[in-house]
Amino acid sequence: MKRKISIIGSTGSIGTQTLEVIEKLHDDFEIISLAGGKNVDLLNKQIAKFKPKSVCISEKSENLNPCGAKVLYGDEGLEEICSNKENDIIVVAVSGKIGLRPTLKAIENGIDIALANKETLVMAGDIVMKRAKNAGVKILPVDSEHSAIFQCIHGESEKVDRLIITASGGPFLHKSIEEIKNATVEQALAHPRWNMGRKITVDSATLMNKGLEIIEAHHLFDMDYDRINVVIHPQSYVHSAIEYKDGSILAQIGVPSMHLPIQYAICYPERPQGIKSRSFSFADAQKFEFLKPDFEKFPCPALAYEAGRTGGSATTCMNAANEEAVYAFLEGKITLYDIYTTVEKIYRQHNVVKNPNIDEIFEIDNEIRAKTRELFK
Ligand code: NDP
Ligand code: MG
């Protein structure tokens, strides 16, 4: 039987690559709904090709050609898609804070989730994971590091002692602090290994992406922060590793491509050939470097460790301030390094709420965003 699937954020980097995987595995999947933001032209092409039953865009547009599909709008539309129990799995591939509500809706309706949107877990990981567990819903990681860890753990989490998350180091790995401080938007968006959306690409340049991933790993694998390490691996062949209690280390290795982690998440526990990327050749990989991360030059991951260990609303605050600072950088209002100083400043002023409920999380998120934006006026 075909697996029924919907994608929210289908017009983005992860969304389009998910559709490439599904195209290859067309006998195994039926698309129920697609949701994009503003890119109506691309959504029209996807609708014509994949014939979903419903589609969602952020705002009404005369240019949308739904080809008979039901048309939905905005956040409510995303939530309606995620409430449709016809779905076996939903890919949450929107960027930023928009991912949280649809994810909660899917959980409420008992639908498994292939989660690309890491911000969801940084905002409200305790609540999301608890609700998913109670509902028997699987949260399958799409992020390549977490997919690597998930593949290595293979159901034996109680025997794992440590997670080793790899990081490419981003475009400024070997640059000086001065060069980082003067980096242009264009330089920050030129990631050496991955072609991704703008928000995550900037996060990769500041290494906040790794900070968010540490928190994401803590929630997905229920692992103490002391047992999550980061290592720089510029070639991005080793997607991450785990160490078992007996000292044995397992890593997941391959040519850098998001197709594999996406495919693994939506096909789990099967492993079809699908859109297999070219095989990795150990003999041809000329370099296989591992370096200690420099948290002085890139302070964001250290702040993320601190926020993670503090828990409660600390990571909600860090995430909101970071997202607003990233948009301000992209709009040319602040420098790349200001992203860190902004997040740190807002974070230090925040009175952490210990066990926030979901309404408090949304409230805190809004407050922090408003406060952060004030700084850029
Ligand atoms: P993109 O910016 O490429 O895509 C974001 C998607 O969300 C687009 O389809 C966009 O629509 C849609 N969107 C934006 N705003 C809204 C809105 N208000 N309502 C509905 N849809 C909206 O991001 P990525 O694909 O790069 O990243 C998505 C998530 O996956 C992020 O959380 C990121 O951290 C994570 N991730 C991404 C990786 C990658 O390789 N790209 C790797 C690991 C994780 P439109 O373009 O039509 O406006
Ligand atoms: Mg990643």
- Answer whether 148's CB lies under 8 Å from 233's CB: no
243 in contact with ligand 1, CB cutoff 6 A = no
194 in contact with ligand 1, CB cutoff 6 A = yes
- Copy the structure tokens of residue 196: 């991704």
Chain Cα centroid distance, residue 306: 20
Q: According to the 3-state scheme, what is the secondary structure of the chain?
A: CCEEEEEECCCCHHHHHHHHHHHHCCCCEEEEEEECCCCHHHHHHHHHHHCCCEEEECCCCCCCCCCCCEEEEHHHHHHHHHHCCCCCEEEECCCHHHHHHHHHHHHHCCCEEEECCCHHHHHHHHHHHHHHHHHCCCEEECCHHHHHHHHHHCCCHHHEEEEEEEECCCCCCCCCHHHHHCCCHHHHCCCCCCCCCHHHHHHHHHCHHHHHHHHHHHHHHCCCHHHEEEEECCCCCEEEEEEECCCCEEEEECCCCCHHHHHHHHHCCCCCCCCCCCCCCCCCCCCCCCECCCCCCCCHHHHHHHHHHHCCCHHHHHHHHHHHHHHHHHCCCCCHHHHHHHHHHHHHHCCCCCCCCHHHHHHHHHHHHHHHHHHCC
Among 6, 8, 13, name the best residue to mutate to test ligand 1's pocket (greatest count of ligand atoms within 8 A of Cβ): 13
Q: What is the pLDDT at residue 183?
A: 93
Q: What is the pLDDT at residue 267?
A: 98
Q: What is the pLDDT at residue 191?
A: 80
Among 200, 208, 322, name the best residue to mutate to test ligand 1's pocket (greatest count of ligand atoms within 8 A of Cβ): 200
| Residues flanking ion ligand 2, Cβ below 5 Å | 143-145
Q: What is the pLDDT at residue 182?
A: 86
Q: What is the pLDDT at residue 211?
A: 98
Separation of 93 CA from ligand 1 center, angstroms?
5
Return the residue whose CA atom lies nearest to atom 43 of ligand 1. 143
Chain Cα centroid distance, residue 101: 15
Q: What is the pLDDT at residue 115?
A: 98
Return the residue whose CA atom lies nearest to atom 16 of ligand 1. 37
Separation of 63 CA from ligand 2 center, angstroms?
34
Q: What is the pLDDT at residue 195?
A: 83
Separation of 246 CA from ligand 1 center, angstroms?
39
251 in contact with ligand 1, CB cutoff 6 A = no
Among 63, 196, 209, name the best residue to mutate to test ligand 1's pocket (greatest count of ligand atoms within 8 A of Cβ): 196
Separation of 74 CA from ligand 2 center, angstroms?
27
Q: What is the pLDDT at residue 221?
A: 98
pLDDT one digit per residue (tens) for the chain, 377 residues:
999 999 999 999 999 999 999 999 999 999 999 999 999 999 999 999 999 999 999 999 999 999 999 999 999 999 999 999 999 999 999 999 999 999 999 999 999 999 999 999 999 999 999 999 999 999 999 999 999 999 999 889 999 999 999 999 999 999 999 999 889 999 999 987 778 999 999 999 999 999 999 999 999 999 999 999 999 999 999 999 999 999 999 999 999 999 999 999 999 999 999 998 789 999 988 889 999 999 999 999 999 999 999 999 999 999 999 999 999 999 999 999 999 999 999 999 999 999 999 999 999 999 999 999 999 98
Q: What is the pLDDT at residue 194?
A: 79
93 in contact with ligand 1, CB cutoff 6 A = yes
Separation of 141 CA from ligand 2 center, angstroms?
10
Return the residue whose CA atom lies nearest to atom 31 of ligand 1. 95
Return the residue whose CA atom lies nearest to atom 39 of ligand 1. 196
- The answer, as to whether pTM is greater than 0.95, is yes
CA dist 370 and 364 (Å) reads 10
9 in contact with ligand 1, CB cutoff 6 A = yes
